[in-house]
Structure 1
């Protein structure tokens, strides 16, 4: 596809006898925020480092059709941040970013602009060792963006951020993606990705077992939910007909109660309202994204 910025194919890496990556493959799309999700220790960071050539591994990763080493100025192709900012602890934030900018061959004013963009202008004279985890995360993002790369890779960027800062991160990454940048961010929290990502790739047992648009993933989770209803017994035929017309399953649990799957609570309520069938109880046992993860960790679910 023309919008594919990065192609990851069959990455394999073992540490001793432990196969950490067992054929990891996925695509990153330009203008798209992709969440890379897996439990702690599932190999997310190993995958990111292998993609960037920081860790030897079998397989290949192509950035716009070429290995990263084939690009003359790789910092203009991809920027990455692992666990905040990397630099000498005694260096002050502004001087550190100026050095990064000089190394990337871009004007130092770019670093100053990024400090403003990530809301860290007031931290410009703080030493790196004195940064809080949340501040370090923001400075790390600024460092990754110094050369205005076309791909941005962030490892657990929400760690240490309070709810206000997480909202800032969500809006900031959306702005970056809207410029056409392909964004990949890892997390062990699927619910966090629901707010940030357009697409999700789920890593389990050393391979990507799900790669889907977030909307498709949420629709799949909805289909696993169970809605409990209570109704007038005389309305049972109308509800049965409704289930047949709209493709959801109705299982009677009593003369005036039923469990329904294949439709979420909101949509069911609207359909019953249109049909003028009153519901005396409407509750939902909804599968969380974490439940979804536990499900697909054992069965492959892939949507192009």
Structure 2
């Protein structure tokens, strides 16, 4: 296998395919994970996100392949230093205490106990270090699972639904925590079925629908796509209709009259339209905007299999 990898691309997922019975649950999934980037893996429940992640890690057999720094994961002598992963909470004996559990994981990874203690501080659980795993809340379990995944300081971090069970304060902590990791050069992949959640957490997003990646783009591009679907509703003096029609032609936005003095406009933001009308001395008696949510945009993308470039 070629050991040369594209600069800054730490993980290359190439044409993963997986079938359960007669149903194809992964249909040629390909995605790159870059150093310094938090990538959101988004799709409705059942879209294939967890199956993709497990196939990437070799936990499920699948056609295709995944390269970590140019090699299969099995080619690395210490894979825990290459990638760490957590699947919704922490896996361990319910009677084990948090600190002892992480010490055990550290021993298995060949790192000193102090690494576990450092991570307890980083995930904000030093005061909970003596709790049994069975006593942890869902949000605390998520943090312990994240610490477990990071025990060997891997180059790549994969978290499946990491914000599940977190309150808004904890989501803000997770965002800052992942940003710190990415700024240090880690490639981060987080999955979720909520695009609005990804807006807070991810730099880039890959949208999965029915086992296929139907869109992959920077978050800023996805937000711009949502903006383009916005409808600005205006009311104006009927005498100004020709002026507005001319403005639409010059600026390249669409104007659809809904009445003698009302119209729906797409292809321009409410703020820009207001400034242009002010410059032309065209008064607007009503100016409102119906902007689709990110969830609506996701449904549109998934339905149309729209490719953002």
Alpha-carbon distance in 2 for matches of 1:47, 1:278: 54
Alpha-carbon distance in 2 for matches of 1:190, 1:19: 24
Alpha-carbon distance in 2 for matches of 1:34, 1:219: 18
1:2-46 CA distances to partner (integer Å, 9 max, x unpaired)? 221111111111111121111111111111111101111111101
Alpha-carbon distance in 1 for matches of 2:127, 2:266: 52
Residue of structure 2 equivalent to 1:169: 174
1:242-290 CA distances to partner (integer Å, 9 max, x unpaired)? 3223221111212221100112223323333444433221111211111
Q: What are structure 2's unaligned runs of at least 5 residues?
A: 1-5
- Counting only pairs closer than 5 Å after superposition, residues 24-173 of structure 1 correspond to structure 2 as 24-173=29-178
- The answer on whether the counterparts of 1:202 and 1:210 sit within 8 Å (CA) in structure 2 is yes
Q: What are structure 1's unaligned runs of at least 5 residues?
A: none
Alpha-carbon distance in 1 for matches of 2:275, 2:67: 47
Alpha-carbon distance in 2 for matches of 1:73, 1:273: 64
Alpha-carbon distance in 2 for matches of 1:205, 1:225: 27
- The answer on whether the counterparts of 1:250 and 1:261 sit within 8 Å (CA) in structure 2 is yes
Alpha-carbon distance in 2 for matches of 1:271, 1:182: 43
Residue of structure 1 equivalent to 2:305: 300
Alpha-carbon distance in 1 for matches of 2:101, 2:235: 63
TM-score (norm 2): 0.94
Shift of 1:302: 2.4
TM-score (norm 1): 0.96
Alpha-carbon distance in 2 for matches of 1:165, 1:25: 31
SS in 2 for 1:298: helix
Alpha-carbon distance in 2 for matches of 1:195, 1:278: 37
Q: 1:295 to 1:104 in 2, by over 3 A?
A: same
Backbone CA RMSD of aligned residues = 1.4
Alpha-carbon distance in 2 for matches of 1:281, 1:100: 62
Shift of 1:221: 1.4
1:184-207 CA distances to partner (integer Å, 9 max, x unpaired)? 000000111111111110111111
Q: 1:275 to 1:297 in 2, by over 3 A?
A: same
